[in-house]
Amino acid sequence: MSLYADVVRYPDLFLNIFRRELYGKYRGSILGLFWTLVNPLALMAVYTLIFSVLLKAFQIEHYALFVVSGLVSWVFFQSALQMSCSSLFAQPTLVKQVRFPRHILPLAVVGTNVVTLVAMLVVVLVPNLIVIPETRTTFWAAIPMLLPLIALASGLGVVVGYVTVVYRDVEHLVTTILLPWFFVTPILYSLDELPGLEGNEWVADVLYYANFVTPIVESIRDPLFFGEWPAVGDVVYSVGAALAALALGALAAHRFDDQVPASL
Amino acid sequence: MNVGTIVAENVSRRFKVYPQRHVTLKEAIVRRRQLRPVEVWALQDVSFQIEPGESVGFMGRNGSGKTTLLRLIAGVFRPTSGRMAVAGRVGSLLELGAGFHHDFTGRDNIYLSASIYGLRKQDVDRRFDAIVEFSELERFIDLPVRTYSAGMYMRLGFSIAVNVDADVLLLDEVFAVGDEAFQRKSVNRILEFRREGKTIAFVSHSGPAVERMCDRALLLRQGVLEYDGDTREAIRRYHDMLADEEDPAERTAGLREWGSGEARVTDVRLENAAGEVREHFLPGEQVVLRLKVHNREAIDPPSLAIELRDVTGALLSRAERDLGELGWDRNGEDAEVRFDIKRLPLVEGLFQFNVSLTDGARARRYHSVEKAAEFTVVPQGEAHGFVLFEGDWSLEQNASVQAAPGSETAQSSGRG
């Protein structure tokens, strides 16, 4: 697990690579950051239009804010994971010629996504605080809950970054998995309000706990949108999932690090 | 272990090579059994120790394991078995500008690149001016490197690599980059490194380059260390190895020839003064190049050109003669041409002759043959470099003129 500590052990290396990746993501402009925010906001608009206004599928108050409060976490997770895939693969000369802690590369990619995450959070927070008074006392509890989310993305980011070098199709696989994964994660809907599950409420529990992203999304959305404190069970589960992901990342790095220069 | 020491103890490195270029996860799961990788040992049981301040050449054919060995020294990967230990920071001139971001300015890339080599910001701050000054990019340092020419890019990469305070420097024969002035500067910087007592690991195919740079050389053959010792001996063995390994069948298979074909060069032989066919010669020895020319039809006297090239294909010299001047008969056939080199002006290395036959006006190419003949020059005595460099010495002093007794042969390295 010590590989994650390299971020602070080699701060200059991390910051320089982080800056480089950040530049790649935002093309060096504030407008670049703006564009990465447009995507989730556009998604929010279209989901609200279809599911709430046109289909009248959900009876959730402030549906647009509900959706975007969940999208914050999901968009970060998805983008971090997708971008991590090519983090090592796209740097053949660097990886083949110079010895340096290579796992910094996926971690820096996740880091650039944290920038978007924080910006998104600010964008969501303002209307939530105005429209939903209950969130004014609880909103801050979302901040510590970002840690398990970031840790989860970091661990899995290292995994996909390394595995992509050895198996070239992982990037496609990740993209393929992420879309259905998004729909089984309760972001557009709430697992509490699924008419189809009447009489089979245990299915909701399975959907909830089998998908390790759900408790994290929920424990961020609770204080951010519902004005409730994160549930203890969710917090414990989130931290557990995050630690497991970090351990998996460490394992992948240990297993594949030596193969990386030879495979590129 | 002193800083700058490199120790390899029974180092072996295995690579798994899959039949197809890339393996996909799908195949790994679905066709588990068919995907047996072939195991290739790039290095086997290699042991050596390099002391601080030594300059060591790594020689061998392509695929002999030189690059793998250098990457092990760089720490890019680890040996499969055995131990590789390097004390101190390793700097590499093998890939200049690795990790640069094209949209970053030269300044930002200096910090980026140096941090990848393991320098902290304050270390870079201290060296920054020296790096910029060496690269001669003062005016461009705040422009994005994508606006740089290839030469400027290399210069920046080189300047960073030689300024990261490396204790061990890895380089190959193309380390000198940029224009001629900068190349000279690069070479001087490397020589300065040697004087400072840094360890240098130099990979090269070129005997003279290794000889100029290194006191000791390691010769690798198919992943095995064949020889470790005196550079000249290593070069001699390397040339022998090249000559041995290229069997005659391979030589004709690799023969490249083209042309319209009215006349052809059918046979090329190298002989010594006694008329024996040979492939090895000594510096200054008499060499006779014999060619047979077969003409399919009656043609006007053609022109025959002979090019002397080194092992890399670089042109060293060229001789051309109109065969009409040698008495070509339009109605004759199967001529034999003899080119007599009184004293072979080469010192050592692997060389080749390319021959080409054109019409008298040189407008039509009848036949060209690459590598029509290859030969090795085996060094003898105190010869150095590529070219046999001979002259008569004399000395004049005061009013009374005295010719220096006798004349001497001096041989020295030709390329500066």
Q: What is the mean pLDDT of residues A226-235?
A: 94
Cβ contact (<8 Å) for A262 and B108?
no
Residue of A nearest to B18 (CA): A263
| pLDDT at B95 > cutoff 50 | yes
- Band of residue B246 on the pLDDT scale cut at 50, 70, 90: low
Q: Quick one: CA torsion of A62, A63, A64, A66, rounded to 10 degrees?
A: 90
Interface check B181 vs A, CB under 8 A: no
Average of per-residue pLDDT across A202-223: 92
> Whose CA is closest to B229, among B238, B383, B385, B75?
B238
Mean pLDDT lowest for which of A67-76, A86-95, A166-175, B359-368? B359-368
Using pLDDT thresholds of 50, 70 and 90, give the confidence band for residue B415.
very low
What local confidence, expressed as pLDDT, does residue B253 receive? Answer: 39
> Who has greater pLDDT, A208 or B256?
A208
User: Cβ–Cβ of A98/B92 closer than 8 Å?
Assistant: yes
The interface predicted TM-score (ipTM) is: 0.86
**Residue among B24, B95, B124 minimizing CB distance to A167:** B24
Query: pLDDT tier at B132 (50, 70, 90 boundaries)?
Result: very high
Is 80 exceeded by the pLDDT of residue B381? no
Lowest mean pLDDT among A59-68, A229-238, B367-376, B405-414: B405-414
Q: Which of A60-74, A187-201, B147-161 has the lowest mean pLDDT?
A: A187-201
CA-nearest residue to B67 within chain A is A97
| Torsion sign across C-alpha atoms B117, B122, B126, B130 | positive
pLDDT for A14: 94
| Confidence bin at B402 (pLDDT 50/70/90) | low
- B128 in A contact zone (CB under 8 Å): no
CA distance A98 to chain B (A): 6
Cα B1 to Cα A255: distance, rounded to the nearest angstrom:
29
Q: What is the pTM of this model?
A: 0.74
Contact indicator for A156, A174 with CB cutoff of 8 Å = no
Assign B310 a pLDDT band (cuts: 50, 70, 90).
confident
Instruction: Give B250's pLDDT tier (boundaries 50, 70, 90).
Output: very low
Using a CB–CB cutoff of 8 Å, tell me whether B315 touches chain A. Answer: no
- Structure confidence by residue, pLDDT tens digits, B16-42: 877 666 677 777 777 766 667 788 899
B98 and A168 within 8 Å at the Cβ level: the answer is: no
**How many Å apart are CA B194 and CA B202, to the nearest integer?**
12
Contacts A12 to B, Cβ<8 Å: 111, 115, 119-121, 124
Name the pLDDT band for A145 (thresholds 50, 70, 90): very high
Which residue in chain A is spatially nearest to B24 when comparing CA positions?
Answer: A167
pLDDT above 50 (res A20): yes
Tell me the pLDDT band of B400, cut-offs 50, 70 and 90.
low
Residue A114: the pLDDT is 96
Question: What number of residues does chain B have?
Answer: 416
CB contact under 8 A, B98 and A173: no
- Average pLDDT estimate for B232-253: 67
User: Looking at chain A, which residue has its C-alpha nearest residue B22?
Assistant: A168
> What is the average pLDDT across A177-192?
92
Predicted confidence band of residue B413 (pLDDT cuts 50, 70, 90): very low
User: pLDDT at residue B69 above 50?
Assistant: yes
Q: Does residue B296 surpass a pLDDT of 70?
A: yes
Cα A66 to Cα A45, A74, A127, A129, A180: the distances in Å are 12, 13, 11, 13, 20
Residue A170 to residue B25, Cβ atoms within 8 A: yes
Q: Work out the percent of chain B whose per-residue pLDDT is above 90.
A: 34
Average of per-residue pLDDT across B293-302: 86
pLDDT of residue B248: 46
